[in-house]
A and B are shown apart, each in its own frame.
Chain A
Amino acid sequence: MATPSREVTSIAGGSARRALERRDLLTRWALILPAGLVLVGLMLLPMLLMALMSWLEPGSFGGVRWGHYTPEAYIKFLFDRNLDDSLSLNTDYLSIFSRSFGLAFITMLITLLIGFPVSLYIALQTPRRRQWLIFLVTIPFWTNLLVRTYAWILLLRNGGLIESGLKQMGLLQGSLDLLYTPIAVQIGLVYAFLPFMVLPIYTSLEKLDWRLLEAAFDLYANRWKALWRVVLPLAAPGVIAGCILVFVPALGTYYIPELLGGAKSLMIGNLIQQQFGASRDWPFGAALSFALLALVLLFMLIYALRFRGKGSLL
């Protein structure tokens, strides 16, 4: 009696397990579905649409002429079409790209130079103070960046706080003339992206085993050598993550140069915006976006190949 009944339960157990596995699989798919829908619907499809647009002719009043395919948008990026249909090199757009790369790169360097010591300082405090300081770093996120950028106009403009302050101290005669220059854009970028450098570096420094620093001191490394040979290599993942988090968004910034920069400090983001706005050349705007995307991916690829297998980004 006992043996057959045990067999029955084991068979039942097997099918029950299979049913459970099936349900497990279903649950898994159901859980992935919302995120998948968001990714496909809000990222993949729009990007495919943009890719398609970049190969179409522009409509006279914005939009595109569906079905009229042309590589003109990509040609326009590098060349001017003369009256006789010959092409001559046009570096205007390239110079905007290189300026954007320059501004983004300098932003990355400055935020790194400020952000690393700040993170190091915070990481060396007591846990209580650390929490406080990190909280202070995140306070700017409470206000919209657009509002904070407007605040910079008030600070930087002629007759603004900085100018009058410098005049009061007797450090400046005449006007400051800082607003609507590339330097104003640079200041705005550094201000906006500094927290994105501090937070990942702090995260990697916080995890650092400070006993290693003692070991370095014990082995004749002075403070600088210990920083250079032990702290920096171990904080490298955070430094790299911070650099990416600053460089990539800084490259595509739109309203900081829009508000703080003049005609000579146009960045890629503004150029793209213009194509979809005043210039009514959607295909060119789409092509510019893809040129930017391709360049960013290229940098990420170089990074990934360089640091392959050396731990995750964060």
Chain B
Amino acid sequence: MVYGEGSERVRALDRISLEIGHNEFFTLLGPSGCGKTTLLRLIAGFEQPTEGSIRLYGQPLEGLPPYRRPVNTVFQSYALFPHLSVAQNIAFGLEMLGKPRAEIAQVVREMLGLVKLVGYENRRPAQLSGGQQQRVALARALANRPKVLLLDESLSALDLKLRKEMQLELKRLHAETGITFVFVTHDQEEALTMSDRIAVMQEGRIAQVGTPTEIYDAPNSRYVADFIGETNFLKARARGGVLLLPDGSSLPTPVHTPDGEVTLAIRPERARLSADGSGISARVKDVVYKGTDTIYLLELPGQEPFQVRSQNRLGALQLVRPGDPVGLELPPEAVRVLKE
């Protein structure tokens, strides 16, 4: 996918190969400008690929205009028709398909029930709240029973509380309709909560595809590990099945690692402060009490700052103050070796 002309040509998407399963909740995750929306627009038909092909249940989509694709979009801006009522908005697609009136009325009623907007059919979009507009946009797209529903940052305009509600609502609609959802977001938490599978994108390429658990537990690069959740990185050298840290301590390798420089990724909640000072020696820089957790910010010689998150279970409170020397314990299964 190449954009622009002459020296301004930009390759927006590169070497993307994805297969999305029937009835899957698939999320494209990445920072703004990574190409996730472009990919969505390619599926919808608003953009045409300069190379490559997109197939829907075996049928190639290239050259088909958006109005000939059995795919519907929930736009980031909702793009509800301001001159039409809620019911007319929902009926729009079916009317364009030339469905009989009785059937349209039936589907509109069904959709209003599905998105819990019964009684709002005669309102104009301007008379609805953001959350309600979002529901109308969903109903308008779902009314056509598309083979794939595309959602473009559809929740990002909502406030936090409403967003959480709509996340659950979307999961429910996905389960009830049995339609394949392709969801675009830059919110990693949203992606983890809702998706069956996630594709993490980076500068027009796919960095990693996998279930939320796979992406979180086994990131394949520093980029993915950093983008999804919080991660500590340690520099180390692999030699003869052992990971050597610059301060002289060593860890067993969790998987076979060829010799050389590596980066270790460790989630903050999987590292522990040792009770007896054993393990990697570190110094406490700061202690942040967060209610359910306490976060210990550690300094390790020759390393980036390291965070340890520990749950405040009864009796688990450790009396550690800034400046104290502590031992850092890294269970082998908590360490992910990234080739770099």
Contact = CB atoms under 8 A, between A and B. Distances in A.
B66 A218 contact: yes
Interface string A230-245: 1001100000000000
Given A211-B77, A217-B65, A222-B67, A233 B96 contact: no
A218 B67 contact: yes
Pick from A218, A222, A225 the residue with the most CB of B within 10 Å: A218
B93 interface: yes
B83 interface: yes
A306 to B, nearest CB: 16
A249 to B, nearest CB: 29
Interface string A156-176: 000000000000000000000
Contacts of A134: none
A21 interface: no
Given A218-B72, A220-B96, A212 B67 contact: no
A7 interface: no
B46 A220 contact: no
Contacts of A222: 65, 67
A219 B92 contact: yes
Interface in B72-109: 72-73, 75, 77, 79-83, 92-93, 96-97
Contacts of B77: 209, 211
Pick from B65, B77, B83 the residue with the most CB of A within 10 Å: B83
Interface in A1-20: none
Contacts of B97: 220
Contacts of B68: 220
B126 to A, nearest CB: 12
A114 to B, nearest CB: 25
Given A217-B46, A219-B72, 19 more contacts: A211-B79, A212-B81, A214-B79, A215-B73, A215-B75, A215-B79, A215-B80, A215-B81, A216-B92, A217-B65, A217-B66, A218-B72, A219-B67, A219-B96, A219-B141, A230-B81, A233-B83, A234-B82, A234-B83
A109 B93 CA distance: 31
B44 interface: yes
A218 B96 contact: no
Interface of A: 209, 211-212, 214-222, 225, 229-230, 233-234
28 contacts: A209-B77, A211-B75, A212-B79, A212-B81, A212-B82, A214-B79, A215-B79, A215-B81, A216-B81, A217-B46, A217-B66, A217-B67, A219-B72, A219-B93, A219-B141, A219-B144, A220-B67, A220-B68, A220-B96, A220-B144, A221-B67, A221-B92, A222-B67, A229-B92, A229-B96, A233-B83, A234-B82, A234-B83
A225 B79 contact: no
Given A218-B67, A230-B81, A225 B75 contact: no
B81 A218 contact: no
Contacts of A212: 79, 81-82
A230 B83 CA distance: 8
B42 to A, nearest CB: 13
Interface in B26-51: 44-46
B267 interface: no
Interface in B162-212: none
A220 B93 contact: yes
A51 to B, nearest CB: 41
B94 to A, nearest CB: 9
Pick from B67, B73, B80, B141 the residue with the most CB of A within 10 Å: B67
B309 interface: no
Contacts of A215: 73, 75, 79-81
B73 A218 contact: yes
A204 to B, nearest CB: 12
Contacts of B82: 212, 234
B83 A218 contact: no
Contacts of B140: 219
Nearest to B146: A218
A224 to B, nearest CB: 11
A218 B71 CA distance: 8
Pick from A219, A225, A234 the residue with the most CB of B within 10 Å: A219
List of 5 A-B pairs having minimum Cβ-Cβ separation, nearest first: A215-B79, A219-B93, A220-B96, A217-B66, A211-B79
Nearest to B76: A211
A225 B92 CA distance: 11
Pick from B73, B77, B92, B140 the residue with the most CB of A within 10 Å: B92
Contacts of A230: 81
Contacts of B93: 219-220
A312 to B, nearest CB: 15
A234 to B, nearest CB: 6
Contacts of A211: 75, 77, 79
Contacts of B141: 218-219
A228 B156 CA distance: 31
Contacts of A220: 67-68, 93, 96-97, 144
Pick from A217, A221, A222, A234 the residue with the most CB of B within 10 Å: A217
A215 to B, nearest CB: 4
A217 B65 CA distance: 8
B81 A214 contact: no
B89 to A, nearest CB: 9
Contacts of A219: 67, 72, 92-93, 96, 140-141, 144
Contacts of A225: 96
A233 B92 CA distance: 14
Contacts of A229: 92, 96
Contacts of B75: 211, 214-215
A221 B67 CA distance: 6
Contacts of A216: 81, 92
A309 B122 CA distance: 17
Contacts of B92: 216, 219, 221, 229
